[in-house]
Structure 1
Amino acid sequence: MNQTNSIKEKLRQFMIILLPILVTQVGLFSMNFFDIMMSGKYSTGDVAGVSIGSSIWVPVYTGLSGILLAITPIVSQLIGAKKRDSVPYSVMQGIYLAVAMAIIIMIVGSFILNPLLNGMDLEGKVHQVAHDFLVALSFGMIPLFVYNVLRSFIDSLGETRVSMAITLISLPVNVLLNYLLIYGKFGFPELGGVGSGYASAITYWIITFIAIFVIKQFRPFSSYHIFRTFFKVSFKEWRAILKIGVPIGFAIFFETSIFAAVALLMSNYSTVTIASHQIAINFASLLYMLPMSISMALTIVVGFEAGAKRLKDAREYARLGIGIAVILSLFCAMSIFFFREYVASVYTDDTEVMRMTAHFLLFALFFQLSDAIAAPIQGALRGYKDVNVTFIMSLISYWVIGLPTGYVFAKYTDMGPFGYWLGLIAGLAVGAIALGSRLYFVQNIKYRKGYPS
């Protein structure tokens, strides 16, 4: 990554970093996409079970892995400040922390999974598939968390094309394993939706081993000698990572868990409603990879410029990223409107599920603009290491405003399950406005006197 001196140079460097991140995010998300889509082709009960399992797993994973995203601004700022020798230590401590977090969540999950599912009014088939799907996923939890650290290190160097290549290699493997284990082809057991969980777990191991090999063997990664020294565990460094990472993780958790909460509330409706809602959310989440990727790219470039105390350049990158996100969101909204029936047909052959999914997708139109503003701003703020206020804003906008509003519409109007989507739209809009205000404060007031130590 290099210093830039004009908007044209910034746009070029930003796109070089962004496009591979986008491909990588879409690839990683596609694992969940194919889990749900291929389970949907197997049976409605299986797709409902996988959807419920995913709704529990995704906020837990994204929240905890969000903590590990702290490695990106930490390493970016170390490189910007020309402190290369400190990078291996931070990365290795991040790996230790990732393993510890994965073990803790597996232990906790073994105690709370059954009570959580028992507390939901699920059909027997849906309950069993959801349980077994999550158990299957747990076998890949440790490598997945470690991979998040390794990927954060790779991306922080601006080498996002490497992450993209790893994902593109692993995605066909995941789809093949889904095919073999869901449908029981070529002598493999026919596991239905549960098979997609084992397929994902195996894929997580594959991408982690590939990342380790690349970091050890290829420059510029090998020049940092990440695995040459296995440092002692440093709880002091863990605290430094957690100080930045926990607010990031909570902010992501508050955002993703509201979708999980709505999915759990949907369990009071029919299996068709559960499946339709989750399919629509799954597709909307696929489109969210655009602003999310821009967010991750902004963390890298803003962190690099902030570490070098080039605050004017950091501001220009933030404006550039937000502008790109807004333009792309308008295109996505139009695509949803015109192709919603086709999108629904990709996921399911059930006519009733298809019809309701298309109706849900109309509401997803309104997600696009809010996401296009909120996500890039979060990325820019992480680049500044300004994370504490963001997670408070996320809590208020999603859980204090979004979910209660949706509950009121769903329970006290004739909108039914669609009322929850109105609540989600309200929460996302408030979050976008609040984050915009915070970025203005950080860039124009907090940092006016120079970048703090």
Structure 2
Amino acid sequence: MIQTFQRRDKIKQLLYILLPILVTQLGMFSMNFFDTTMSGQFSPIDLAGVAIGSSLWVPIFTGLSGILLAITPIIAQLVGGKKENEVSYNVVQGTYLSLIMAILIVIIGGLFLNPVLNGMQLEEDVQRIAHDYLVALSLGIIPLFVYNVLRSFIDALGKTRVSMFITLTALPINVLFNYLLIFGKFGFPKLGGVGAGYASATTYWLICGISVYIVMKHLPFSNFKIYRVLFPVSIKKWKEILLIGVPIGLAIFFETSIFAAVTLLMSNFDTATIASHQAALNFASFLYMIPLSISMALTIVVGFEVGAKRYKDAKEYSWIGVTMAVFLAFACGVILLFFRKEIAGIYTTDQQVLELTAHFLLYALFFQLSDAIAAPIQGALRGYKDVNATFIMSLVSYWVIGLPLGYYLANFTEWGAFGYWIGLISGLAAGAICLSGRLIYIQKKKYRFTGENESF
């Protein structure tokens, strides 16, 4: 990354970092997307089973991997502050932490997965598929967490095209193994939705291996000598990473877990409703990759500018990102409005599920604007290393406002399952408003600047 002076140059640099991140995020999400859609083509029961499994796994993974996102602003600020000699130490400590987290998840999953599924009152076949899908997926948890550390390091240097290359290399492998293991082609066992779990685990090992090779052998990453020295474990450094990462992880967990909670609460509805809800939510999440990618790009550029103490530039980047996200949200809203039936047809050929999915997608339209504001602002705040207020706002917005309202509307009004979506929309809107206020506060009160000389 380089210092920029004109707004046009900032937009150009942001897009240079953003576009590969977007492709990478769409690629990573496509693994879950293909898990869902290809399982749905196998049978509605497999779609429901994978949906339940994903609803349990996604908030746990995103929350814990969110902790590792602390590596991005840490490295970005070190590079911006010309402290490159400290980068390798931070990446190695982040890797140690990721291994501990991954192992703990496997152990905890082994202890609590069956009791959680047993308490959900699912159809027997749906529960079996959800269980076996998660067991298969668990085989790839360790490499997935290590990859998240390495990707944070790569992206923090502004080399987001490398992450894009890794993902685009791995995605066809994931689709191929989905095809072989879900449908039992070319002599492979026909595993249905469970096969999607094994396919994803295989892919996670692949992207981790490629990432390790690149950071050790290719410039400019090899200049940092990552893993050339395996430093002793530093609890002090872990504490620093956790102080930044835990609030990030909690904020992400509160946001993603509310969607998972709604899916689990909807287990009281029939299989068609569960399947259609998950299909619509899956596509809404697919569109969410746009503001999420802008968020990740803002963390990098804002962190770089803050590390160099150029607070005026950091502020300008922040609002360029938000404006860009809002514009794209309107474009996505038009797509949802006019092509929702065609989109529903991607997920299923079952007529009942198709009609319900198209109906749910109408509500997904309203997600777009709130996400377009909230996600980029979260990314900008992470660049400032301001993370504590974000997770508190997420807790209040989603769990104090969104979920209780959705539960009431779904169970005590005629809205039924659609009531949960109205609650989610309300929570997202509240979160967007609160986060906007926080960013304005940080920029006005904590990062004052005067002319060319900027100071706290």
Q: Which residue of 2 aligns with 1:306?
A: 306
Partner of 1:151: 151
Measure the CA separation in 1 of the matches of 2:107 and 2:239: 22
Q: Deviation of residue 412 (structure 1)?
A: 1.1
In 2: Cα distance, 1:258 partner to 1:346 partner: 25
Matched, 1:98 2:103: no
Q: What is the deviation of 1:451?
A: 5.6
Written as runs of structure 1 = structure 2, the 5 A alignment for 1:145-294 is: 145-294=145-294
1:137 equivalent in alignment to 2:174: no
**Alpha-carbon offset, residue 344 of structure 1:** 0.5
1:286 Cα shift?
0.1
Q: 1:396 aligned to 2:388?
A: no
After TM superposition, list the pairs within 5 Å mapping 1:29-48 onto structure 2: 29-48=29-48
Aligned twin of 1:362: 362
Contact 1:374 1:432 in 2 (8 A): yes
Whether contact under 8 Å (1:67, 1:248) holds in the other structure is yes
Q: Which amino acid aligns with 2:49?
A: G
Q: 1:216 Cα deviation (Å)?
A: 1.1
Per-residue displacement from partner, 1:106-136 (whole Å, max 9, x unpaired)?
Answer: 1011111001000002000100000000000
Q: Is 1:71 matched with 2:78? A: no
AA in 2 matched with 1:183: F
Cα 1:62/1:451, change in 2 over 3 Å: farther
Q: Distance in 1 between matches of 2:448 and 2:400?
A: 32
Question: Which ranges in structure 2 are unaligned for 5 or more consecutive residues?
Answer: none
TM-score, with structure 2 as normaliser: 0.99
Q: Give the distance between the partners of 2:114 and 2:446, measured in 1 at CA.
A: 47
- SS of 1:142's partner is helix
Post-superposition offset of 1:448? 1.9
Are the equivalent residues in 2 in contact too, given 1:326–1:373 (CA < 8 A)? Answer: yes
Unaligned runs of 5+ in 1: none
* Distance of 1:327 and 1:387 partners within structure 2: 26
Closer/same/farther in 2, CA of residues 345 and 385 from structure 1, 3 Å limit: same
Q: Could you tell me which amino acid in structure 2 is paired with residue 235 of structure 1?
A: I
Displacement after TM superposition at 1:217 (Å): 1.2
Aligned residues: 452
The residue that corresponds to 1:430 in the other structure is 430
What is residue 86 of structure 2 aligned with on the other side? 86
Contact 1:306 1:451 in 2 (8 A): no
Q: What letter corresponds to residue 221 of structure 2 in structure 1?
A: F
Aligned partners of 2:412 and 2:271: how far apart in 1?
22
- 1:104 and 1:358 map into 2 onto residues whose CA distance is 39
Aligned to 2:346: 346
Q: Distance in 2 between matches of 1:46 and 1:311?
A: 51
Q: Name the CA distance, whole Å, in 1 between partners of 2:366 and 2:385.
A: 29
- Moved >3 Å (runs of 4+): 449-452
Measured after TM superposition, the shift of residue 403 of structure 1 is 0.1
Q: Take 1:232 and 1:135, find their aligned partners in 2: how far apart are those partners?
A: 32
Give the secondary-structure state (helix, strand or coil) at the position aligned to 1:57.
helix
RMSD value, Cα? 0.7
Q: Which amino acid aligns with 2:381?
A: L
CA distance in 2, matches of 1:158, 1:451: 25
Which letter maps to 2:215?
I
The two structures have a TM-score, normalised by structure 1, of 0.99
- Shift, 1:447, TM fit: 1.8
Q: 2 CA distance for matches of 1:451 and 1:104?
A: 42
Cα distance between partner residues in 2 of 1:349 and 1:319: 42
Q: Secondary structure at the match of 2:349?
A: coil
Instruction: Summarize deviations over 1:152-199 as a string: whole Å, max 9, x none.
Output: 000000000000000000000000000000011111111100000000
Q: What is the letter of the counterpart of residue 429 of structure 1?
A: A
- The whole-number CA distance in structure 2 between the counterparts of 1:243 and 1:319 is 26
Amino acid at match of 1:324: M
Which residue is equivalent to 1:324?
Answer: 324
8 Å CA contact retained: 1:62, 1:249 = yes
Instruction: Work out the CA distance in 1 between the residues paired with 2:418 and 2:427.
Output: 15
Residues 70 and 245, structure 1, Cα contact 8 Å, conserved in 2: yes
Work out whether residues 35 and 196 of structure 1, in 8 Å CA contact, stay in contact via their aligned partners in 2.
Answer: yes
Taking the aligned partners of 2:90 and 2:434, their CA distance within structure 1 comes to 32
Separation in structure 1 between the aligned mates of residue 455 and residue 331 of structure 2, nearest angstrom: 37
Q: 1 CA distance for matches of 2:221 and 2:243?
A: 26
